[in-house]
A = this chain, B = another copy of it.
Amino acid sequence: MPGTPKTAAAGTASRILDVAERLVQVRGFNGFSYAHVARELNVTTASLHYHFASKAELGEALIERYSERFAGSLAEIDRRPAAAPAKLEAYSELYADELRGRRMCLCGVLAAEYETLPPPMREAIVRFFDLNEEWLAGVLEQGRRERTLAFAGSARTAARMIVSGLEGAMLVARPYGDLSRYKAAAAALLGSLADGPR
């Protein structure tokens, strides 16, 4: 791996990751190539290989950066106190933002190609889902304490339902090119957890 660029500003590696990330989110890991990235950045594929020796390494770096950025967004939500339903809404909005760029969750796309991916990428994908699940479980427990959320079973199971549900909502909404499909599915899913009389 080449040395970290001196400035924190967008170095070449970072710009490569930006383009590759979008391509994977839109086309999948087996649907993009070094040539695609190189063309958009007006460099050669040989240059890309200097920064990321193999496609597998590039893939790992993509998931790692994506996960860290996502964890940062979750931390941002936690930064100021809010009721659990508002936190869930903010969480749902993180994925809605992806969809606005006709992208879906990076790890959701990769999950569909899971069997074709090298083990390090596989493990990083699972860690991403674990991260989502853990954060959600915390919010759900908060909601149960606050009596703003009500659900049967464990917070962990409910968290898994939310992760699955939103990943699927992105997956299905995209062919329709319709953000409102995602929003409606997310609202129905999260609404089913709201406490209160029917």
Contact = CB atoms under 8 A, between A and B. Distances in A.
Interface of A: 26-28, 30-31, 102, 104, 108-109, 111-116, 122, 125-126, 129, 150-153, 157-158, 160-161, 163-169, 171-176, 181, 184-185, 188-189, 191-193, 198
Contact of A150 (B111, B172, B198): B198
B164 A169 contact: yes
Contacts of A169: 161, 164-165, 168
A175 B113 CA distance: 10
B175 A126 contact: yes
A184 B165 CA distance: 12
A47 B152 CA distance: 55
Contacts of A109: 112
A114 B108 CA distance: 13
A169 B111 CA distance: 11
B175 A165 contact: no
Contact of A175 (B122, B184, B193): B122
Query: How many copies of the chain does the oligomer comprise?
Result: 2
Given A165-B161, A171-B171, A113 B189 contact: no
A197 B115 CA distance: 43
A160 B181 contact: yes
A172 B164 contact: yes
Contact of A125 (B27, B114, B125, B175): B175
Contacts of A153: 184, 188
Contacts of A176: 126, 129
A197 to B, nearest CB: 9
A89 to B, nearest CB: 16
